[in-house]
Amino acid sequence: MAAQWLRVKLPSLSNHKHQDQVKATLERFAFPIIGKLPIDSIGRAQLVEAVRAAQTGGRVETAHRVAGRITAVLNFAQDAGLIEHHGAAGLTRVLIPRAIKRPMASLPPNEAGALLQAIDTYGEPITRLGLRLLALTFVRAGELRGMRWDELKEGGALWVVPAERMKLRLPHVVPLSRQARAILSELRQITGDAALVFNSLQRPGHPVSENTFLFALYRLGYRGRMTAHGFRALASTVLNEQSGFAQDVIERQLAHKETDAVRAAYNRAQYLTQRRELMQWWADWLDSQSAPASPIRAIG
């Protein structure tokens, strides 16, 4: 039954690594204990034994995933009419609770200006410009690291991130503000002969390492206060609270998951004009934060 469920389930998963993980967890943790038992003879005690064994050694997250996958296989058997009921309901309650995931560190909007000024002092130019572009585009760090010159369209006014680099495995369009295009012009002087915008100087032909931007923020004194992903949270907060743009427009630009499939298919083609305006508004807002304050003129 697990093999039949996997044939249905695996094609729906976004990448081969995830597919391998789903299959491997069943093979390693479920099959040795319940794999050879008739599907209608597996009792609650055996299910509990399997998931608790998976938890051994502190593998709490793994055990919760095993419980979910065992339950899915038994639900599949139930839907196929092979069993009328099973004992996997609420199986995770016998496990240690999952750790609560804390949101990625992100600065409040009133500290954005100081951060941008600090970034401008960073000595290594590719990293400095990358952090600035990350702030301006608020894409995920992996999407930016893999950016290629041939992904720029409309004379550099539009960046199309291919589906394979997106979390939701759907292409994503990023309108580029004047400020973003200026940064790319600087980067072209450094890496323009390579295919990758953020071509590694240490390993040509490869993007800069995945921790490049995070470690740069650490060096600037923002450890525990700001992450590369934090620019997304900052943009979301400011755009929703201050910009006046519709939430749908903001969500499309953040490339967040749309829960309604029909709405998602429709909206992905929408709002490009508004998104161009949004990205320019955001770039201008960042400039307004990082500009030095005007001196106070004495009266008298």
Asked whether the beta carbons of 122 and 220 are under 8 A apart, the reply is yes
Catalytic, 17? Answer: no
Q: Please tell me whether residue 161 adopts helix, strand or coil conformation.
A: strand
Which of the residues 169, 219, 223, 256 is marked catalytic? 256
Which of the residues 167, 169, 219, 257 is marked catalytic? 167
DSSP sequence for 205-269 = TSBPPTTHHHHHHHHTT-TTT--STHHHHHHHHHIIIII---HHHHHHHHTPPPSSHHHHHHHTT
Which of the residues 232, 252, 271, 275 is marked catalytic? 232
Catalytic, 232? Answer: yes
Catalytic, 7? Answer: no
Catalytic, 229? Answer: yes
Which of the residues 64, 65, 86, 140 is marked catalytic? 140
Catalytic, 9? Answer: no
Catalytic, 23? Answer: no
Which of the residues 229, 252, 271, 275 is marked catalytic? 229
51/45 Cα distance (integer angstroms): 10
User: Which residues are identified as catalytic?
Assistant: 140, 167, 229, 232, 256, 266
